[in-house]
Amino acid sequence: MKRIKYYYSTMSRQVFLILLMFLVLARFVIFYEVIVFDINNYADSYNIGASILLYTVYLGTCLFFFFGHKLFYTDYNETEIIYYNRILRKKNIMRIEEISKAILGKRGISLYAANNENASLFIPFFRLGIVSPVGVDEFYKLLKTKNISIEKKFTKLPGHGSSRKAFSLIYSCLALLILASLTQSIALARAIFMSHP
């Protein structure tokens, strides 16, 4: 079976998420040092269990957005299409011979069965990342060989145009802000450690 995969939207987003994970870890190290070295008797006022849970949730959320695009994909061959959503543990299956019409819109591919006004299967272009243009192109060629009525509403695949550069710039700026905060946190963690031999 062939596969339509999703990829991260921009490299700067991935760098931003990596730096954010390091920032969470650095802040956890500072929290740990405050507890262990009992700085200004803050160890008594902290709810240690809730704080550890909160840092774990922060780190888990960063990891989810870093790897989330891998949880969605579409497999297809000459006879059927299967869209997988591993977060919800769902899969939608449609046979190729059931398709009478396909609309390639700005949000995804809608596949319609005969005598049905609502889409029987929807393949989104954005799922915590962007869809692979190679996979969409091969799927489009398969639909053309099956004599299916196809309506294409874009010239360039959504998510691969100039808006991608704007998102890349925004994530680059956010990454720089996180990097500045990360260097401060590392310096503070090092200063606390060096002052308590």
In the chain, domain spans: 1-197
- Residue 28 contacts residue 94 (beta carbons within 8 Å): no
Which two three-digit tokens encode residue 17?
């998420």
7 SS3 class:
strand
- Radius of gyration over every alpha carbon of the chain, rounded to an integer in angstroms: 24
CA–centroid distance for 53 within its chain = 23
User: How confident is the model at residue 170, as a pLDDT?
Assistant: 93
The residue type found at 33 is E
Query: Which residues in the chain show pLDDT less than 70?
Result: 197
DSSP-derived 3-state class of residue 189: helix
In this predicted structure, what is the pLDDT of residue 175? 95
Pick from 107, 101, 123: which is nearest to 157 by CA?
Answer: 107
The position carrying tokens 């269990």 is 49
The rounded distance, in Å, linking the Cα atoms of 147 and 99 is: 10
CB 2 within 8 A of CB 135: yes
| Bridge partners (DSSP) listed for residue 48 | none
CB 27 within 8 A of CB 178: no
Largest CA distance in the chain: 77
Full-prediction pTM beyond 0.85? Answer: no
Mention every residue, 6+ apart, whose C-beta is less than 8 A from residue 13. Answer: 167, 168, 171
Query: Residue 43 in 3-state DSSP?
Result: helix
Residues 78, 110: Cα–Cα separation, whole Å: 18
Element (H, E) at 191: helix 162-195
